Structure 1
Amino acid sequence: MKYQVVTPEIIHVTATPADSFSKAESLIAAPKERPAANWSLREKGNQLVLKTDALSIIISLQSGEAVFQDQQGNTLLQERQGGGKTFLPANVEGQAFYSVRQVFESPADEAFYGLGQHQNGLMNYKGEDVELAQHNIVAVVPFLYSNKNYGLLWDNYSITRFGDPRPFEPLSGLSLFSKEGNPGGLTADYLDGAGKVIESRQEQEIGYEYLHDFDGMPENFNMENGKAVWEGSISSDTSGKHKFLAYLSGYTRIWVDGKLILDRWRQAWNPWYTKFNVEMKAGEKYPIKVEWIPASGKSYLAVKHLGPLSEAEQNSLSLFSEVAEQIDYYFIKGNKADDVISGYRELTGDAPIMPDWAFGFWQSRERYQTQSQLLEALEEYRKRKAPIDNIVMDWFYWEEDKWGSHAFDPARFPDPAGMVEAVHALNGHIMISVWPKFYPGTKHFDEMNQKGFLFQKNLANETKDWVGPGYLSTFYDAFNPEARELFWQQIKPKLFDIGIDAWWMDATEPDINSNESIEARKQLMSPTALGPGARYFNAYSLMNAKGIYEGCRTAAPNKRVFILTRSAFAGQQRYAAATWSGDIVSRWSNLREQISAGLNFSLSGLPYWTMDIGGFSVEPRYEKAQGEDLKEWRELQVRWYQFGTFCPLFRSHGQYPYREIYNVAPAGSQEYASMLYYDKLRYSMLPYIYSLSGHVFHDDYTIMRPLVMDFPSDPEVLNLATQYLFGPNLLVAPVYEYKARTRSLYLPSGNGWYELSTGKYFDGGQHITADAPLDRVPVFAREGAILPLGPDIQHTNEGFSDSLTVFVYAGQDGYFQLYEDEGENYDYEHGAFCTIGLAYSEKDQSLTVEERSGSFPEMVSKKAIRVNWVSPQEPKAIDDKASSGQWYEYDGSELIIRKLKLIGDKTR
């Protein structure tokens, strides 16, 4: 056992049964020189007591178990009695490792958050199971936050399980019975397109899970128009909560005991799982029916099971990793959630400020197929006076057989440099998709292959991808620093040097060949320069982002980097990398799940998250929608767009139908008007949003905030998965049900709240039903909120904070700090920025614009400011700027603006 005092609040714990500790350098922790922390160590009976200025760690000399306590002696975290450590030998590609597990005690009122981005709709992970394995739509961050105000950073890169350490097993672990009650399996009926049963048999498993799992499927079953139904009953010799997992694509419905408990659709090529639990009594039979309508020529379905754990085991804090040299974790203490996140970034690196234009609107689609299509989309936004800053070039801009060349197809993109120049002339910026993927026959493939920088297994398997007739391909080894450098040197002359502004690093799980089994995926990315693929399974995106960030900083040291990745890992924020939630689907349930996905990702310490507004893959009924389907499609897009406005990054993307607002709905429609309204509202909020981004870098802030961060003493917020704070002042409750025109939500206690769209006041500490007309989403400002809004602009080059309309929501004192810098360079790292405090006094009914602190060369020295006062007696809608008071000139000196009080027809 080894305990290292990193800071007074951070303790690094390692344990191994071997004679020595691993000398491998952490990929997660960022090297940093720190002043030595004060600590003391003394022996007390059969214990060691390690003390810092913030913590005590009591270590048993008999079992090695550790108890982490605050200065008052309150236990924050305790390893399970006996130490809670398990080491099982694991042989990986001929190398000796361990599978490791660490278990901690957890009181009943504890709640857990973080672990990255997962598509399970959950907020609080207490008593839940989460597998940490990179996948398209899953981003792994092995960090969790406890409402007891500590964090745990698990330094391991292999597949990890929070909660139950067991993998799911086939249904055959249960007793299965046919429709007729015969033991030995469920009745499986395979039907043709006319609904006729073409084969009926008993099956012990539903296991069409991966690419090579279809040998047992009836040869005459056609997934293009067929249907399969499994029916019968299940039984177990163990009572308790049984866990089930349905890994699916296509349409899947599951009934247990006559109740519909699952109704899902996913695109054929990107299956994912949904979990459900069933309380079962030993020996009793439970009817089950599984109905599957595949989505195309190859869809997937597997239904799996795990037996119950004891309640104590299920509710403990357990982390298990498949491949490790040692148990390795960091304990981080804080007085509040923001302190814990600050500790995480102290260990893993600061999050640089993104360029200011990144906080404007991003328009994307799969895909702009020609140079003219891309430019026409940007031009159309400008013609319609719909604010936009960013246009995106998705994959396949190269010639069909030249993936990895980074060269545009000259037939479709005759002048790439001219295209980029035209985007810039329209005051836009362009992001481009770059995969870590290479086709044989390209110069870049040969350069990589000659140096041994490519993974070879997919080539040896002679696996062809899905493009055209199919092509051999593989990915480069991002764990090799020389390979990362070469990757950047191949990208630079083709893309960076023509002025590309931002980097979309797609498929960085890495998705070398979709729908391979987990074991096959490990082999496809093995060996890495650091060791077996299984050892480094989750860390590819971190290393890929590192290479691009370092390449950009070397090529243009003072130009801000923006990277968007489909995968993430702990520490990735230090490389100016944002994450989007992958190839999600255009369904209401998936809209709902993005809320908790983004919130838990944010509480994992990575501040910049976004999603495909509208969902990426489209249910077939929407592809050529008419009538009610078209109406629902437009409403789904509008509701998603409203949610996206209040995310750290505001980005629309998806497959056909096209997602430009004028393609979603025509001008003059309520749907179009709502999307345009929220686009403009986003731009008016840029002074607020950009100030939050400064707060992220300078103060380790979190923009998209689960309510537990700000209302930790309110038990009602612990499990809230569909509402959150956007910055300190705005509570957002997205609408995620079709035809909903109200939204049930909770207003946390300790504050009054103002409805943004009307200014109406509500007491906190209550559940309400808020109005949610199609064109508006429920958003509430808290008492004491100060919300600075900028002028109406079309892009960030117009300047978003030269004049400010400040909304002040009365009831409590309030404070907000404006942050400004140049917007596109890194001078802020050297002190070139300014802050302006905005302080509201409830007693004096005044707003003090404090003396400006700091400066930068491009700073606008004077700005016009006016105030809109909102109170229960004087409600004002966020759109009501016209009734604001007079304009005041702010020159950097303190300015006090007082609310005017009406007396008859006079003011004082």
Structure 2
Amino acid sequence: MFRFNVNSTYLFKIALLLLLPSVQMSITCAQTTMHPLANAKAVIQSGQARFTVLTPRLIRMEWTSTAPFMDKPTLTVINRNLPVPKFSSSVENNDLVIRTEELELRYKTGSGKFNADNLVVKALTPPHFFSWSPGKAQKGNLKGTSRTLDNYDGDYHIWDKKKMELEDGLLATDGWTVIDDAQKLLFDNSEWPWVTNHPAKDYQDFYFFGYGHQYKKALYDYTQIAGRVPLPPRYAFGYWWSRYWSYSDNEMRDVVENFKSHNVPLDVFVIDMDWHQTDSLRTKYDVFDQTKHWTGWTWNKRLFPDPANALSWMKTKDLKVTLNLHPASGIAPFEEPYQRMARALNFDTSTRANIPYEGSNKKFMSSLFDQVLHPMEKTGVSFWWLDWQQWANDKKIPELNNTWWLNYVFFTDMERRNTTRPLLYHRWGGLGNHRYQLGFSGDAVISWKSLAFQPYFTSSASNVLYGYWSHDIGGHQFGPGSDQKLDPELYVRWMQYGALSPIFRSHSSKNANLNKEVWNFSGQYYDALKNAINLRYELAPYIYTMARKTYETGISICRPLYYDYPEDEEAYQFQSEYMFGDDMLIAPIVEAMDKGQSKLKVWLPEGNNWFEWHTGTLLKGGQKVKRSFSLEEYPIYVKAGAVVPAYKQTKNLSVQPDKSVIAIFPGADGSANVYEDAGNSKKYATEYASTSIISKYLSGRKQEITIRPRKGTYPNMPLERTYVVRLLGAEMPRSILVNNKKMNYAVEPGINTWNYNGKDLSVEISLPETNCARQQRITVQYDENDKIDVNTGLVKKFRQLSKTVTALKFKDADIILPELVGRCEETNRSLSYYPSQFYKNLRYFESQFSNLSQAIIETTNKDNVKWFEEQLDQLKNN
């Protein structure tokens, strides 16, 4: 690993002397472990310069005017004791030369502070060579995120009249990034690490990432020094209901019961600011220059006469509850916990002044938790919505960002005390905040522009590991000049995007016109909204599996296409498209429909074929295609052969469903490792299990699916499970064997039978309940003498034809459908009823589809014929 000559041995001795004062510090706070002192074998010192090889792509570079070097954790970098990568170190012509497998660093020994003349880092591996020296400007930063979307219409601020400038991220097309950590505040070494100032001295502290286009490796390297992205509890990936509204106990219960009566799943109920009491003064701002009534710590008994009982009732419904907090104004005299806080802080109450908020004061924050927040948590508050962001920095430590620090303090308080996973819902505070999970993006304007901007905003945030943005789905407030009405189509498309975003939460301002509850819509809008929420729950096991991958790799669920396709220009150009986990590409619909169809141009990367889920179309990768979608359809492109874990139906994610679904998409072999754990245990790092599922196409028109024995364990893990294997875009099988035993066909789904769903051309195989430690093998035999391509958009044709025929009957109630029309419209049902006539019925449909309009000419008037023809012509666009 090392190669020393006389000069390098001398330098090494100096390094040992300077390192003697340092003490290895391992600060453990529940799962957040800080190991700030690097392995000595990774450190090379040259006089006042020190270099630490952290990974083949990451080198720390320090220069100090006076010893010692800085070995404490900063707010951003908490770990430096990493496995030592392979590298060499030598002195060549007075240059210290460090080489890893991917980088070469040269520093002129004894030349002082790092500058463009004495330090250079070069890439060693093709195809993305680069050379960097201090002061070199980065040209292709791919950006990160921003603190908030408050008052933004898309990326345009409606009051400041400026476009948003996203912060720089960790990735750039230049192939390198530098983090300057020299002036960052530090953590002390107390049991609950607390902020402390950086020593005042001339100091340089650079972290150089040289990765070319290995974007995923760069992000993983960052997690190694800045900490992992914690896995949120499973319930966080369900649907959240939120509204800025002065809900009472009665109203809250009514909303929950409406969710139940409409069979809409729900996991989290958010209660905004009106939960708490406020003083009676009518001034706009308080003595802390904060908006009046925003800070509060006492339940409003006019709305919640018995808060503990209200929260207890919510718990019986398996719902989690979060309350909104704005702590800026401290604790006012009228607040219920005022006297307790005053005693804890020895605060003089004689003047009846507010106890001021002091975020950097450990005693104040500890007392706030002990005297105010912990008691409320015990009554049933699941986690906190930390909404406040008005003061940029701390009053006593000007360099301390209030948002960043509050996120740390609240999250780690939960982490230290609870056996369940900490969860916080907050604003972005800067690098390092990925350790505190969920973001609240704020009060975006209700518009198509805002919807169009959010997919890019969300995926680019993964470039700083902030992968769990939660948006106000449907928008928060109307912009200037708006007609103050919610466009139902816009809301549907926003909800469809929300179901495929990191955290799925509806929210809006306190406006009587913003009634986003599903039951306030009707017809196709009601159906589409319910379908969006149900899709979220259907995909919950897939989403949760990908969230585990985020914890392990740093790669967010929603991320830009250039992570996977870095050499394709289109991956950078199609900014709205994003990967949703490893196997799905989403092309959001962000414009209103034209004649009942949303039309858009989609780029499908090469290397895979892609299954357009809602239309049943298998498309070739490596092309740009124009596609169209009705209101209930959405552009979800699944990799051919993907194996996607799913649920069939569930109340919410706190309640495990009886059946698990394995959805297998057509067109290629595929596999998946399905993740599971206890759902909310803090010990998920070691207590979990996974099940490997493999799908292969064999010779002789066979498909084989293997569910391997589950590996791993966690408390209360179910020993047996019932699986439904769903083969999408599949022909009618001739036979199905499960563990070499023939399974019977049934028209309707049943236990230990298989059926064919003609509406989406899928096979459903209902396996009997089986011990998860046993392997299961399903062999599907297709017809060896006949074959038909069912993935040509037939699902969309079936759907559109059924809708059109039904609507035609309402236009002409006395119409007698011609046999050809009736037979074609019922094809999907016939496929299920008559398995042996599968190919005959499909070929009849395909051969007669173009004759449908002609067939009804003699059965209705010309206007209806023209309308009927226009409806079916829309399918030609695809």
TM-score, with structure 1 as normaliser:
0.66
Tell me if the contact between 1:115 and 1:144 (Cα under 8 Å) persists in the aligned partners: no
Out of 758, 765, 777, which is 2:622 matched to?
A: 765
1:799 alignment partner AA: Q
Which structure has the higher relative contact order (CA within 8 Å, separation 6+)? 1
Out of 226, 231, 235, which is 1:353 matched to?
A: 231
Q: Any idea what SS the aligned residue of 1:367 has?
A: coil
User: What is the distance in 2 between the residues matched to 1:423 and 1:136?
Assistant: 43
Are 2:549 and 1:695 equivalent residues in the alignment?
yes
Match of 1:743? 600
1:542 alignment partner AA: W
User: What is the distance in 1 between the residues matched to 2:708 and 2:758?
Assistant: 24
Cα deviations across residues 614-665 of structure 1 (Å, max 9, x unaligned)?
A: 111223666753xxxx5xx212211111100001111111114469876466
Match of 2:509? 655
Distance 1:9 1:580, change over 3 A: same
User: What is the distance in 2 between the residues matched to 1:20 and 1:27?
Assistant: 20
Residue 328 of structure 1: how far off its partner (Å): 3.6
Tell me if the contact between 1:393 and 1:430 (Cα under 8 Å) persists in the aligned partners: yes
Out of 351, 360, 370, which is 2:248 matched to?
A: 370
**Structure 1 unpaired stretches of 5+:** 85-102, 123-128, 160-322, 455-470, 513-520
Out of 390, 394, 410, which is 2:301 matched to?
A: 410
Cα deviations across residues 813-837 of structure 1 (Å, max 9, x unaligned)?
A: 32221000110112323x2210011
Q: Any idea what SS the aligned residue of 1:860 has?
A: coil
Out of 631, 636, 657, which is 1:774 matched to?
A: 631
Match of 1:6? 54
User: What is the distance in 2 between the residues matched to 1:497 and 1:119?
Assistant: 33
Tell me if the contact between 1:57 and 1:66 (Cα under 8 Å) persists in the aligned partners: yes
> After superposition, where does 1:478-557 map in structure 2 within 5 Å?
478-507=359-388, 510-512=389-391, 525-528=394-397, 533=398, 535-536=399-400, 539-556=401-418
1:901 alignment partner AA: Y
Match of 2:566? 712
User: What is the distance in 1 between the residues matched to 2:71 and 2:416?
Assistant: 29
Are 2:464 and 1:573 equivalent residues in the alignment?
no
User: What is the distance in 2 between the residues matched to 1:862 and 1:436?
Assistant: 47
Structure with greater proportional strand content: 1
Out of 641, 648, 652, which is 1:795 matched to?
A: 652
User: What is the distance in 1 between the residues matched to 2:69 and 2:316?
Assistant: 57
Residue 5 of structure 1: how far off its partner (Å): 2.0
Cα deviations across residues 528-560 of structure 1 (Å, max 9, x unaligned)?
A: 2xxxx2x33xx332321222122223332x111
Distance 1:150 1:646, change over 3 A: farther
2:131 alignment partner AA: Q
Q: Over aligned residue pairs, what C-alpha RMSD do you find?
A: 4.0
Q: Any idea what SS the aligned residue of 2:131 has?
A: strand
Match of 1:807? 663
Are 2:206 and 1:329 equivalent residues in the alignment?
yes
Match of 2:132? 79
Out of 851, 869, 887, which is 2:709 matched to?
A: 851
User: What is the distance in 2 between the residues matched to 1:653 and 1:17?
Assistant: 52
Out of 246, 262, 265, which is 1:384 matched to?
A: 262
User: What is the distance in 1 between the residues matched to 2:546 and 2:446?
Assistant: 30
Match of 1:264? none
Out of 719, 734, 752, which is 2:609 matched to?
A: 752
User: What is the distance in 1 between the residues matched to 2:138 and 2:538?
Assistant: 47
1:564 alignment partner AA: Y
User: What is the distance in 1 between the residues matched to 2:779 and 2:149?
Assistant: 48
Cα deviations across residues 429-456 of structure 1 (Å, max 9, x unaligned)?
A: 11111222225633667887999999xx
Are 2:695 and 1:840 equivalent residues in the alignment?
yes
> After superposition, where does 1:551-630 map in structure 2 within 5 Å?
551-556=413-418, 558-575=419-436, 577-619=437-479, 625=485
Q: Any idea what SS the aligned residue of 2:207 has?
A: strand
Cα deviations across residues 559-604 of structure 1 (Å, max 9, x unaligned)?
A: 11211102232222323x3102111111111111111110111221
1:30 alignment partner AA: I
1:894 alignment partner AA: Q
Cα deviations across residues 174-223 of structure 1 (Å, max 9, x unaligned)?
A: xxxxxxxxxxxxxxxxxxxxxxxxxxxxxxxxxxxxxxxxxxxxxxxxxx
Match of 1:338? 216
Match of 1:237? none
> After superposition, where does 1:400-439 map in structure 2 within 5 Å?
400-401=278-279, 404-439=295-330
Q: Any idea what SS the aligned residue of 2:78 has?
A: coil
Residue 11 of structure 1: how far off its partner (Å): 1.2
Tell me if the contact between 2:438 and 2:468 (Cα under 8 Å) persists in the aligned partners: yes
Are 2:764 and 1:884 equivalent residues in the alignment?
yes
Tell me if the contact between 2:470 and 2:503 (Cα under 8 Å) persists in the aligned partners: yes
User: What is the distance in 1 between the residues matched to 2:364 and 2:353?
Assistant: 20
Tell me if the contact between 2:448 and 2:591 (Cα under 8 Å) persists in the aligned partners: yes
User: What is the distance in 2 between the residues matched to 1:43 and 1:793?
Assistant: 65
Residue 901 of structure 1: how far off its partner (Å): 0.9
> After superposition, where does 1:225-264 map in structure 2 within 5 Å?
none
Cα deviations across residues 406-449 of structure 1 (Å, max 9, x unaligned)?
A: 21011221111111111111221111112222256336678879
Distance 1:708 1:404, change over 3 A: same
Residue 79 of structure 1: how far off its partner (Å): 2.6
State, as a whole percentage, how many aligned pairs show the same letter.
Answer: 22
Tell me if the contact between 2:677 and 2:684 (Cα under 8 Å) persists in the aligned partners: yes
User: What is the distance in 1 between the residues matched to 2:626 and 2:146?
Assistant: 31
Match of 1:114? 144
Are 2:357 and 1:476 equivalent residues in the alignment?
yes
Residue 473 of structure 1: how far off its partner (Å): 8.0
**Structure 2 unpaired stretches of 5+:** 1-48, 186-199, 280-292, 734-755, 786-835, 839-878
Residue 715 of structure 1: how far off its partner (Å): 1.9
User: What is the distance in 2 between the residues matched to 1:356 and 1:636?
Assistant: 29
Tell me if the contact between 1:634 and 1:665 (Cα under 8 Å) persists in the aligned partners: no
Tell me if the contact between 1:786 and 1:808 (Cα under 8 Å) persists in the aligned partners: yes
Distance 1:413 1:622, change over 3 A: farther
Cα deviations across residues 291-315 of structure 1 (Å, max 9, x unaligned)?
A: xxxxxxxxxxxxxxxxxxxxxxxxx
1:744 alignment partner AA: K
User: What is the distance in 1 between the residues matched to 2:224 and 2:548?
Assistant: 17
1:331 alignment partner AA: F
2:692 alignment partner AA: G
Out of 140, 146, 154, which is 2:172 matched to?
A: 146
2:403 alignment partner AA: S
Tell me if the contact between 1:834 and 1:856 (Cα under 8 Å) persists in the aligned partners: yes
User: What is the distance in 1 between the residues matched to 2:514 and 2:694?
Assistant: 40
Cα deviations across residues 823-870 of structure 1 (Å, max 9, x unaligned)?
A: 0112323x2210011222245632222221111231122222233334
Distance 1:378 1:881, change over 3 A: farther
Distance 1:75 1:477, change over 3 A: farther
1:578 alignment partner AA: L
Q: Any idea what SS the aligned residue of 1:601 has?
A: helix
Match of 1:399? 277
Tell me if the contact between 1:752 and 1:764 (Cα under 8 Å) persists in the aligned partners: yes
Are 2:725 and 1:867 equivalent residues in the alignment?
yes
Out of 34, 42, 49, which is 2:97 matched to?
A: 49
Cα deviations across residues 771-797 of structure 1 (Å, max 9, x unaligned)?
A: 222232211111231122212112123
